[in-house]
Structure 1
Amino acid sequence: MAEKIVLIDGHSILNRAFFGLPDLTNAEGLHTNAIYGFLNIMLKILEEEKPEYLTVAFDVHAPTFRHEMYADYKGTRKPMAEELRQQVPVMKEVLTAMGIRIIEKAGLEADDLLGTIAGRCEASGMEVSVISGDRDLLQLATEHTKIRIPKTKRGGTQIEDYYAADVKEKYGVTPHEFIDMKSLMGDTSDNIPGVPSIGEKTAAKIIAEYHSIENAYEHVDELKPPRASRALKEHWDMAVMSKTLATICVDADIDYDIEGARLGNIFTEQAYPLFQRLQFKNLLGRFEVEGPKNEVEDHFRIISSRAEAETVFERARKAERVGAAILKNTADVPPLFASQAKAGGAALCFGEEEIYCICAGEELAAKEILEKLGQTAAGAGCFAIFGLKEAMASFTPGRQDNCFDGIIAAYLLNPLKSDYTFEDVAREQLSLLLDEKQEDEARACYEAYCAWKSQPILADKLEEAGMLRLFEEIEMPLVFTLFDMERNGVKVEAAELKDYGDRLAVQIEKLEQEIYQESGEVFNINSPKQLGVILFEKMGLKGGKKTKTGYSTAADVLEKLAPDYPFVAKILEYRQLAKLKSTYADGLAVFIGEDGRIHGKFNQTITATGRISSTEPNLQNIPVRMELGRLIRKVFVPEEGYVFVDADYSQIELRVLAHCSGDRQLIEAYREEKDIHRITASQVFHTPFDQVTDLQRRNAKAVNFGIVYGISSFGLSQDLSITRKEAAQYIEQYFKTYPGIKVFLDNAVAQAKEKGYVTTLFGRRRPVPELSSSNFAQRSFGERVAMNSPIQGTAADIMKIAMIGVERQMKERGMRSRLVLQVHDELLVEAWEPEVEEVRKILKNEMEHAASLEVPLEVDMHTGMSWYEAK
């Protein structure tokens, strides 16, 4: 069997990966999405092809000989995005470390290198696969040279394959004729101008008939359609130039030794630390190399005797600072590790050479070790650990004031990351690269050491960033509040939930039948493609937007049609009901524990603004706009003898905006306890206060809340179904009414551009890297982030302070009432009936005095025997 070589167009595949994947950055702030995507495409190709040889060709960004021939031609190729440009040298570094042959030469484009190498390899009897996102390379296709073009579809990579016969079948021209076809149709992405007015279909038809542009020109008067004939006459010079530019050189003067491209093991020791640095964790498992050994490992001690353990715990209790970690296979410790019943224990570090893993065995039970860990935590000067809330499922720290969670510290310093691990902290703060394949005991020692070693470094950086007080007084106390909330859980009536789901199923079935009857056929309502055909072809509705995959049936498209077409309104209702059933009626049932309560997770290191998020399940997305969605709250009920008390901040973000902007008119309106939306409507629409209509008030409300989120005239026009001009006038008038707000928002954007971040009233930083993006949409998003983050982040900080205060008050008073939920600006307390009035007073006091603003913080409060009643 002939040997095979894979040739990759480096810049083309990097570019495709860059635009096909969302932005990723590593701990150093390096953009990595193009590199990650390139590697995944390359590995997929290698698994499929199993070649003996591999080469990656790159462009050298200097004029090529073809373009120098036409120095007067002004190309239209856009400059490379900076976020992509910085990844190119790193990509080459990674490929070199993997032992993969790279080729580049000044004056030659990558496709010239690929064309030349492909021709030489095929001539020597090899099979060739060329990988590129550029269809220009289809001209290289033969019976033994295959062109493979990756395409990103639905989040995955699909690859189109073309031998010579496939090019002919797809375009009706041979690979060589494809050059002439490209000469007519042009390609702005590759600086090929083409002939104006001639598109792909016309170009293909002309070349299929005449086989070359020269022959077509000889029969120019016969060309169809007439506009193509005229265009080729007028722009023959452009066609000739385009053919030169489109023709790939297949005999370039390059020095290429095929043996230098022979593939070996690409997962090398040299590449391993690079993959770690780039944080490609799911690719590290492919390496069979030992990770870097650090000197700190020489001081790891594994102990299991009671006497040694007692000594270590005693010394740790007296230490100024202790780092700790729990072995992830700890037994005898319900509820977190009950399913893993092998060994267990904990690791402690209180010095460079004092690193111990205390393992359970014949002399010590895991449960006893964790009890002693709790005593150690209570006695130490500073107790450092990663993921304190999760660890507290296994042990009780004993004190709150000396705990330091390195994950939360790392999150505050860089809130844009999607997750945080102790390995990240080790790499970012200690320059330690850890072996991902460590044994549990060694891994726990590393974790304890990193917690101990990084604590003062992280604390200093928090202090330098002005966030140490935020960390100590808000984020760390919040850990304990959230832990208690998760442990408390909230009771759910499983039978009521099932009934709710059954009622939804009946309504969904009824709607389905009505939709089928009105459409005249049975189809998959959940299929956008089938629905698009029904709406815009069979029923002939106007306003359809055709995409490559069919008509768009997105919510915004259907919502515009719904007022005029009851059928479309039924489709929207069907979607809402189906979502309610799958996500809530069916979805929530999965999370009900044996105690009849849902013990969800509350996360404080997920959102960039500092807001708490909810998962397993997400209770913060329960619908509130439609009554049927609100009804789901009826299944959340208090225990017998208890009642729900629900407290909700009134317009907290607008109140924060009034304070931060210092706008006197807005401040006075809140101080006088006037209807802020009616006041805004009166000012914006030049209407006396007592004559403002409900519609004007609703529109003013949309403007008020939209301004907080940096809404554009386009966004407001969509929200209110008005023209963009009217929306722009609303916004302009709003800023005339509240000039302080305009100044504040402009300053927020200016600060973000100057410093790279914005801050809340409590010092929380939100970096805004989008403002330096080369992409206009990203920069616009960055401006909205800069406007909104100080407001939303401050509101989140205030809520956290209130939560901590409410729980502290109830605990100090020895109350049986408990905090069970936090959703956006709302707190839900399961209050013991004799304590209801006391709970109401605590909620009101702690929430309204969580911050001292220029305007009062107000709380709406209700009680009930379900969350629905209390809300």
Structure 2
Amino acid sequence: MNKKLILIDGNSIAYRAFFALPLLNNDKGIHTNAIYGFTTMLMKILEEEKPTHMLVAFDAGKTTFRHNTFKEYKGTRQKTPPELSEQFPFIRELLDAYGIKRYELDNYEADDIIGTLSKTAENDGFEVKVISGDKDLTQLSSDNTTVCITKKGITDIEAYTPEHIKEKYGLTPIQIIDMKGLMGDTSDNIPGVPGVGEKTAIKLLKEFETLEKLLDSIDKVSGNKLKEKLEENKEQAIMSKELATIFREAPVTVSIEDTEYNQTSNEKLIGLFKELGFNSLLEKMDVEQTSSPSEPMKETPFELVDSITEDIFASENSLYLEMIEENYHTGDIIGFGLSNEKGNYYIPADIALHSNIFKKWAEDETKIKNVYDGKQSIVALKKHGIDLKGIQFDLLIVSYLLNPSENVDDFTSVAKLHGYTNVQTDEEVYGKGAKRKIPEEAIVAEHVVRKGVGISELVEPCMNQLEKNEQLSLYENLELPLSFILAKMEATGIKVDKERLMEMGKDITKQLHEIENKIYDLAGENFNINSPKQLGVILFEKLGLPPLKKTKTGYSTSADVLEKLEADHEIVREILRYRQLGKLQSTYIEGLLKVINENGKVHTRFNQVLAQTGRLSSIDPNLQNIPIRLEEGRKIRQAFVPSEDGWFIFSADYSQVELRVLAHIAGDEKLIEAFNEDMDIHTKTAMDVFHVSEEEVTSDMRRQAKAVNFGIVYGISDYGLSQNLGITRKEAGQFIDRYFISYPGVKHYMEDIVQEAKQKGFVTTLLNRRRYIPEITSRNFNIRSFAERTAMNTPIQGSAADIIKKAMIDMAARLKKENLKAKLLIQVHDELIFEAPKEELEVLERIVPEVMENALKLNVPLKVDYSYGATWFDAK
């Protein structure tokens, strides 16, 4: 068997992967694009090369022996973006999971490790392949070593053999070093000879062979100016060659035998892929996503109720409502599990829903109900004319408040978090996918009763923990009452003008057809615009646009690639618009048409227990994500109309609530003063950061200040800000530094909150919502840095979420007090949408801002903008 050693330049490939792929995050917020790109490259290598030996070399630190020769070596390189730095520990973990040797050596670069090992391997008869994004390594090319350099992205590779180097440069591999000595290397800050580029260097080396021979024969060089440059920079050229030379006798402590590759187990790899959220890679590995068999269940005695009598209810009851469909607006109730001091009962749906005794008990506010998901239970029963009241304990909400990072919402998983394990998963009882079905009643009954019993057993320990956390008020005065309001909003729904939506669809279809024809004219032929492969051929082969990124199947035509090429050809702008309109058509026009019910309404589901910050989201349909950047997207809001003739849509929106919360929490005097004086905060920031008067603030200055203001809230890095503003990282870093000088209170807050998180293990909002951040004490710098940004951001975002939730509760109470017909319909981020008759608009204009602006008392005023109109669009 032929011995084959693959040597990978770890830092170089990680950088390539990071900048080739858009920023990706897993569910914990860790950036994963470099890890993902690195993984796909490894998979490709293992599949295609089938190496017997493998090693990934990393740089050990910033200084190497080359800095003794030239202290400015690599001095112009920018600091590694933190979004990339945080991924290196995972790349190392990935290699360990693959069973691939990794190595770094103090005072030496990855190039020197690769150079030393490739030389040893060549002498031992190995076929060697080096993989890097750095052309310096091409000097290692030989009859036994091929140096593969990534061109665009990480999968488009150019193989440098001695023959290829001869064909490309007319040089031998060893002469690459001489070429670097002459022309220098800006990326490594190797000076070379000023004014000598690649073309001149190659010409000189073809004539004189080596740098030394050239410098000994300067008088034979044609051109007085070139002679002068070479004469003046002799020592610099020799030094540059020395810097560019890979040291092939590095004192590496790893042997070729140590690099043998034998992957025996996929378990570690599967675990890592699951942690990182690499589901597509798990599918490639054909990983079965099955759950482990559950423990045997303890017997749970219960009574199957065939006729409801009042004596099955007690003063406090746990009620579990069973549905197997996810959407409780359209799904059917199967039955109820009831558990109390008298016993455990299973009540089939048809018996409960047709019983006046059950209805009377459900609607009696004095009869305490402990439930799993109160909002679901209220909405599901509302369809059957039952108005569920008296909910005191909601396990789903309490569990979320105790630890919002757990992110589970099925009963079995939630119950297990709190120590109740005597219940199977729904998948074990009902099956999965096409095999999903309702088994015989006895099996269903026991399963549902176990859930009711689980609620009963968890009331006391969970409520005790809430009290210990000082979160009882958050639960009783905010989240629980909010769930009742959300249930009412969901049950009410919002009316959609189906005809208007269909007209919009026709208009978009017409526009799509026109754009399609325009694209064909610009391309000179018809093709499938939705096929990345066909589109890639048109753009990068026929029209000659520069291919910025490649995928396994060809050229990348992703949105980030096309946006960079938009100015290069008119066709790109048309393709981007075609895609935007296509998404509007399929996701929003057609998507909404599918969910309009017989009353002409859509009934979304608000998720109260998903975001770790406390923010609400919505699904089926997602009313919080209707696009407003495109005019056609904004117009979709025209289809949302009042449910009654002569009524209006009334919209009220908090202005810059997160920045106001920041001013309050940080206690920064300048920020507080700006808000109290009702200044435009972005103009004020521009004045402070750029040291200009209000009149001197340009629109560009304000735009940059706005990006920094909101970026600070989200713990933005210099890299992130540079990407947002299209400026250098150095400029972005200076901008952030100037911001903190201008607003020292914000800087002190950020330092203090990180220390608090380290001491407590969590941070809290103004209303005591917690977010646990265990990574804040990680010994890994990059993971810890991400956790610190989370600590800074969560109290701000979470308090903003608390404020609008409190406003919804206060608003519902005020509407009732004023005896108004107006209804709260939806919440979208910092905006509340109502519908109301014309005669109540004047009252709403008075009470809505009053209630919302007084939801929580801060050191700065909360400000609400409001408007109304015939449609949601007109109310903005």
Superposition TM-score, scaled by structure 1 size: 0.67
The 3 A distance-change label for structure 1 pair 429 and 373 is farther
Question: Is 1:184 matched up with 2:128?
Answer: yes
**1:347 corresponds to:** 337
**2:707 corresponds to:** 702
**2:516 corresponds to:** 512
**2:366 corresponds to:** 379
> What's the CA shift for 1:476?
0.3
- The C-alpha deviation readout for 1:187-207, integer Å capped at 9, x for no partner, is 99xxxxx998249994599xx
Note if contact 1:299-1:355 (Cα within 8 Å) is conserved in structure 2. Answer: yes
The one of 137, 140, 162 aligned to 1:197? 140
The one of 753, 760, 770 aligned to 1:748? 753
The one of 856, 859, 868 aligned to 2:861? 856
**1:464 corresponds to:** 468
The one of 610, 613, 618 aligned to 2:614? 610
- The C-alpha deviation readout for 1:284-319, integer Å capped at 9, x for no partner, is 9787x784122xx3432323244xx32112xx1x3x
Give the residue type in structure 2 aligned to 1:817.
A
Give the residue type in structure 1 aligned to 2:336.
A
> What's the CA shift for 1:680?
1.2
How many positions carry a matched residue from both structures?
651
The one of 308, 319, 323 aligned to 1:324? 319
Taking the aligned partners of 2:25 and 2:700, their CA distance within structure 1 comes to 40
The 3 A distance-change label for structure 1 pair 233 and 615 is closer
Note if contact 2:496-2:639 (Cα within 8 Å) is conserved in structure 1. Answer: yes
The 3 A distance-change label for structure 1 pair 365 and 484 is closer
> What's the CA shift for 1:364?
6.9
Note if contact 1:345-1:366 (Cα within 8 Å) is conserved in structure 2. Answer: no
> What's the CA shift for 1:453?
1.3
**1:572 corresponds to:** 576
The 5 Å alignment of 1:144-543 reads 184-185=128-129, 197-198=140-141, 202-203=145-146, 226-227=172-173, 243-246=256-259, 291-294=295-298, 297-306=299-308, 309-313=309-313, 316=314, 318=315, 321-328=316-323, 338=332, 345-351=335-341, 354-359=343-348, 366-368=354-356, 370-375=358-363, 378-380=365-367, 382-395=368-381, 402-436=391-425, 437=428, 439-542=443-546
Give the residue type in structure 1 aligned to 2:452.
A
Which moved further from structure 2: 411-420 or 441-450?
411-420
Taking the aligned partners of 1:521 and 1:615, their CA distance within structure 2 comes to 40
- The C-alpha deviation readout for 1:599-658, integer Å capped at 9, x for no partner, is 111110111111010110111111222322211111111131211111000111111111
The 3 A distance-change label for structure 1 pair 241 and 784 is closer
Taking the aligned partners of 2:468 and 2:537, their CA distance within structure 1 comes to 59
Higher relative contact order structure (alpha carbons within 8 Å, sequence separation ≥ 6): 2
- The C-alpha deviation readout for 1:745-778, integer Å capped at 9, x for no partner, is 2222333333332211111112234545677665
Taking the aligned partners of 2:686 and 2:590, their CA distance within structure 1 comes to 42
Taking the aligned partners of 2:847 and 2:246, their CA distance within structure 1 comes to 85
Note if contact 1:647-1:826 (Cα within 8 Å) is conserved in structure 2. Answer: yes
- The C-alpha deviation readout for 1:723-745, integer Å capped at 9, x for no partner, is 22222222111111111111112
Note if contact 1:494-1:589 (Cα within 8 Å) is conserved in structure 2. Answer: yes
Question: Is 1:804 matched up with 2:747?
Answer: no
The 3 A distance-change label for structure 1 pair 354 and 518 is same
The 3 A distance-change label for structure 1 pair 87 and 464 is farther
Segments of 5+ residues of structure 1 without an aligned counterpart are 1-18, 26-33, 35-77, 89-108, 111-131, 137-176, 189-193, 206-223, 251-260, 262-281
Give the residue type in structure 2 aligned to 1:311.
D
Segments of 5+ residues of structure 2 without an aligned counterpart are 1-17, 19-23, 29-34, 36-84, 103-120, 149-169, 178-244, 266-286, 430-442
**1:126 corresponds to:** none
Question: Is 1:764 matched up with 2:740?
Answer: no
The 3 A distance-change label for structure 1 pair 417 and 528 is farther
Note if contact 2:657-2:862 (Cα within 8 Å) is conserved in structure 1. Answer: yes
The 3 A distance-change label for structure 1 pair 85 and 459 is farther
Identity %: 41
**1:629 corresponds to:** 633
The 3 A distance-change label for structure 1 pair 755 and 240 is closer
> What's the CA shift for 1:391?
0.8
- The C-alpha deviation readout for 1:422-454, integer Å capped at 9, x for no partner, is 212332223424234452211221111111111
Note if contact 1:183-1:243 (Cα within 8 Å) is conserved in structure 2. Answer: no
Note if contact 1:82-1:774 (Cα within 8 Å) is conserved in structure 2. Answer: no
Give the residue type in structure 2 aligned to 1:312.
I
Taking the aligned partners of 1:728 and 1:452, their CA distance within structure 2 comes to 55
Taking the aligned partners of 2:86 and 2:594, their CA distance within structure 1 comes to 51
Taking the aligned partners of 2:733 and 2:250, their CA distance within structure 1 comes to 47
Instruction: Supply the RMSD in Å over aligned alpha carbons.
Output: 4.4
Give the residue type in structure 2 aligned to 1:606.
L
- The C-alpha deviation readout for 1:550-592, integer Å capped at 9, x for no partner, is 4443333333332454333222222221121111111111111
Which moved further from structure 2: 659-668 or 738-747?
738-747
Note if contact 1:370-1:394 (Cα within 8 Å) is conserved in structure 2. Answer: no
The 3 A distance-change label for structure 1 pair 513 and 485 is same
The 3 A distance-change label for structure 1 pair 249 and 379 is closer
The one of 595, 617, 628 aligned to 2:599? 595
Taking the aligned partners of 1:228 and 1:239, their CA distance within structure 2 comes to 22
The 3 A distance-change label for structure 1 pair 202 and 358 is same
Give the residue type in structure 2 aligned to 1:347.
G
Question: Is 1:867 matched up with 2:862?
Answer: no
The 3 A distance-change label for structure 1 pair 79 and 738 is closer
The one of 662, 682, 690 aligned to 1:685? 690
The one of 630, 641, 649 aligned to 2:654? 649
Give the residue type in structure 1 aligned to 2:401.
L
> What's the CA shift for 1:337?
5.0
Question: Is 1:843 matched up with 2:848?
Answer: yes
Taking the aligned partners of 1:239 and 1:756, their CA distance within structure 2 comes to 41
The 3 A distance-change label for structure 1 pair 701 and 187 is closer
- The C-alpha deviation readout for 1:810-847, integer Å capped at 9, x for no partner, is 23433221111110010110012221222222311210
Note if contact 2:371-2:391 (Cα within 8 Å) is conserved in structure 1. Answer: no
Taking the aligned partners of 1:698 and 1:81, their CA distance within structure 2 comes to 33
